[in-house]
Structure 1
Amino acid sequence: MAASFEITPTDVPNGAEGAPLPAWDPKGGSHPRIADNDDPVVVLAPAEEAPDKRPASERIASAVQNLPGQRAVVLAVLNACREQCEDDAVAAVVAEAQRNSRSVYGPQALCSILERAGALSHVDGDGNPYRNEEVEPVRVVEDGVEYLQAAEPPVSYWVATEEGLAFADADDPLARTLALLDEQARYAPIYQYLLGACAGGAATKALSAWVDSHELTQEPRLYVAHFLHELEESGALEWRGAWTTTDTGEEVLARLG
């Protein structure tokens, strides 16, 4: 999200002992002269981001929607955190869920996003809010020489909130996929083809040859990536080194006949 700014007046002297500010050096070094008198200098200061007052359930749904291709990872994390789960254990869950994909969202980034959304809480071993404080180094004496050694921070844990668990428990990929097909009934032949073609795994290039040339995708112009994304988000397809139909996708395919 782009940072927002507000104008803040600040009493800043116009230079050492009232001397005018130096001219702007475009190669760096000096700021452009703002004023030749003692008027307050106007500077830009970051504005505080307004708190998101939506219910946690809405914030969680919105966060997941803004994490394309990460729904299964989010669900894996929430289910793993039904009880307090150490940082390293959460990292292992994320690594397993992302083993077949490349993602810019690592464990810490995902957990932080889910924490802000209200799906996870960061706690210490006693279940209290985790305080990320600087750990004092430890004095160590070795062979008569004393030195400071970095201390390990206390172990922290992640635990799913009631709202986070409610989101995980309400997940219904079958209903979501059927709703997708109902909303985009015009493209039912495309979706049916993809679910069938991916039953044994299929590459994007092979799928695009059929989908991108189909009459249904010409106007408005749509490409195979659109349909693959929709099926992945619904839970009917997964990327496992190739696009692969999930159990949900197979059930939907059976219903389509």
Structure 2
Amino acid sequence: MASKLIDHNPLLKKPVLTVLSILHAQGDMDRAALEAAAQQQWSEQYRQNVPAIIDTVVRAHLVTETLFVDGAPYEGTIEDMQTDASLEEGVEVSSTISLAQAGRDVLIDYAPDATLAALVAERPQYHDAYLAVLSACAADGGATRDALEATLNELPALAVDPETKQRSVYPQYFIDALEAAGGIEWSGSWRATPAGKTLIDA
């Protein structure tokens, strides 16, 4: 299942979705154009560079890459070209990258509306806590980590267990979970995304 790529390495989620979303919006692109478009949206928080992520989605069959030599389709990979004695020096090599059905499925599965709904459905006991964080982040100027912790610490879901004197869950869980699901993002402060604001109003 293609989504296992992200499930096994959550840090790939945002850069992979960035590349797939560009192809979904713009259609087939040559690799150079895709790299340039992705670079414009790339975050310094992404741990891999644009070419590496494009290679990753090609290998995962989320996209298909068709190679051309002097305008004619080439049956093989870039690696094949490097050892292909039939190719003359100076040939023009290009490629077209297309969004595969598996890539479209990943975009649907990891759309913020879907991931936020799944997050709340999996832990309905924290519904109020999720909404409290989203509401704070939706305010003008967003919210600091300290402000979010103060808001959450007032909720019953985060109360200290009288027997163990421990919390069953800590404020950072809600921040991490909502960021991973696409409900909040860091931009100088924690801010609600459009999907996060939609959940508030639901």
**Do they superpose with TM above 0.5?**
yes
Q: Calculate percent identity across the aligned residue pairs.
A: 22
Per the normalisation by structure 1, the TM-score is: 0.58
Equivalent position amino acid for 2:78 in 1: R
What is the alpha-carbon distance in structure 1 between the residues aligned to residue 121 and residue 105 of structure 2?
Answer: 25
C-alpha displacement at 1:114, in angstroms?
A: 1.8
Query: Superposed, which structure 2 residues align to 1:1-257 within 5 Å?
Result: 58=1, 60-68=2-10, 70-82=12-24, 83-99=27-43, 101-125=44-68, 128=74, 129-132=76-79, 133-134=81-82, 154-169=93-108, 171-199=110-138, 200=140, 201-211=142-152, 216-217=157-158, 218=160, 219-255=166-202
3-state DSSP of counterpart to 1:105: coil
Report the RMSD for the aligned CA atoms in angstroms.
3.2
C-alpha displacement at 1:224, in angstroms?
A: 3.2
Which digits, 9 at most, give the CA deviation of each residue in 1:123-154, with x for residues without a partner? 3245544323449xxxxxxxxxxxxxxx7983
C-alpha displacement at 1:220, in angstroms?
A: 4.9
What is the alpha-carbon distance in structure 2 between the residues aligned to residue 78 and residue 185 of structure 1?
Answer: 31
Number of matched residues? 183
Instruction: Choose between structure 1 and 2 for higher RCO, CA contacts under 8 A separated by at least 6 residues.
Output: 2
What is the alpha-carbon distance in structure 1 between the residues aligned to residue 146 and residue 31 of structure 2?
Answer: 38
Question: CA 1:195–1:168 in 2, change beyond 3 Å: closer, same or farther?
Answer: same
Question: CA 1:238–1:66 in 2, change beyond 3 Å: closer, same or farther?
Answer: farther
Larger radius of gyration: 1
Could you tell me whether the CA contact under 8 Å between 1:73 and 1:97 is conserved in 2?
no
Which digits, 9 at most, give the CA deviation of each residue in 1:16-72, with x for residues without a partner? xxxxxxxxxxxxxxxxxxxxxxxxxxxxxxxxxxxxxxxxxx1x2111223435534
Equivalent position amino acid for 1:119 in 2: L
Question: CA 1:152–1:225 in 2, change beyond 3 Å: closer, same or farther?
Answer: farther
* 105-114 or 69-78: bigger deviation: 69-78
Q: Which runs of 5+ in 2 are unaligned?
A: 84-89, 161-165
Per the normalisation by structure 2, the TM-score is: 0.71
What is the alpha-carbon distance in structure 2 between the residues aligned to residue 152 and residue 240 of structure 1?
Answer: 45
Could you tell me whether the CA contact under 8 Å between 1:94 and 1:106 is conserved in 2?
no
Equivalent position amino acid for 1:202 in 2: A
Which digits, 9 at most, give the CA deviation of each residue in 1:86-110, with x for residues without a partner? 33332233333334x5121211222
Q: Which has the higher helix share?
A: 2
